Amino acid sequence: MTTKPELIFRGEVDRAMNGLWTMTWHEDREINPGVPDLSYVMNGSYYETGWIELKAIRYDSKAVQHKFTLESSQHAWISKHCTKIPVHLLLALGDHATFLVSGCHHKRLAESIDLNTLEQISTAKFERSAMRSTLHDVLKRYTDRRRHV
């Protein structure tokens, strides 16, 4: 089930990446259980597709641990695909920070996680206002067809 913070976050991602990416949002849990929220292709001649699972929770400055809930079908899909194609989790902790985490770390999110550990496993940490440039630049490294050469 999509939460209100996730719907807001989804709209921000959609607006921020519009024009840089061709995006498809995936909604149907019945037909494709576990499929991440977003598949994208970066506009440009050397880029492939990637997948992003969005999670957004409210930030509580007093909390030591934070819980980004992934369903078992999401863990299964990410496990099956994260070593073959770029799969990332885009985690919004309120307006406090946004984290890009490789799908290979999905099991670390099966339980609550502290900020220090989240920062350690993150590919990038950035403010929402920097999403367009940061997310695009970081993910270019993972989708560039020449990355394996």
Q: Give per-residue pLDDT as tens, 16-63.
A: 999 999 999 997 777 788 999 999 998 876 777 899 999 999 888 888
- DSSP per residue, 6-38: HHHHHHHHHHHHBTTEEEEE---TTTSTT--SE
**Can you point out the beta strands (E) in 16-147?**
21-25, 38-42, 49-57, 65-66, 87-93, 97-102, 113-114, 122-126
For residue 4, what is the enclosing H or E element? helix 4-17
> Looking at residue 48, what is its pLDDT?
74
- CA dihedral 101→107→113→115, nearest 10 degrees, is -20
CA distance 25 to 37: 6
CA distance 29 to 73: 9
Give strand pairing partners of 54. 90
Q: Give per-residue pLDDT as tens, 83-116.
A: 888 999 999 998 889 999 999 999 999 999 999 9
What is the distance, to the nearest Å, from the Cα of residue 8 to the centroid of all Cα atoms in its chain? 14
pTM over 0.75: yes
